[in-house]
Structure 1
Amino acid sequence: METIISACISACVTLLVCLISNRGQQEKTRALLEYKLEELTKRVDKHNNVIERTYELEQKLCVQEEQMKIANHRIEDLEKKGG
């Protein structure tokens, strides 16, 4: 009978230690995942910012190219009138 009681106590203690250990590991894993997610979010925000800036630069470039075409046509017209 004593053997059964000691085995039950040993099993309960082992189970308790396992539960405590698993709980600690879960908390560490959750913290690590939250940190990595936060860092990934920051990188995505930076990437999106670069994409937005690139789009704005492309729009400005199109406007400047159109202005250059207009200026070149005006110069050609002035050269034809003067020549």
Structure 2
Amino acid sequence: MYYTYVLHSLKDRKFYIGFTQDLKRRFEEHEKGFVESTKHRRPLKLIYYEACLDRSDATHREKYFKTHHGKMYLGKRLKSYLTG
């Protein structure tokens, strides 16, 4: 399984979208500051993830989530989280 995930930075209130084969390990790497793109944006909260059967599906979802329509989709899925 591969996972596409969304992190929310509690520091700058922005989102990070990525994919991995081991979600728990990858989130721990983000939390410990081992990921260059998020190390200065900690603390982070895992707010969404999807399981995919293979790598190409996960990368496709990651790319989609980074588009305008993908951000709109996530906004609808996370409406209660984003509005408090």
TM range (shorter): under 0.3
The structure that is helix-richer by fraction is 1
**TM-score scaled by length of structure 2:** 0.19
The structure that is strand-richer by fraction is 2
**TM-score scaled by length of structure 1:** 0.19
Higher-Rg member (1/2)? 1
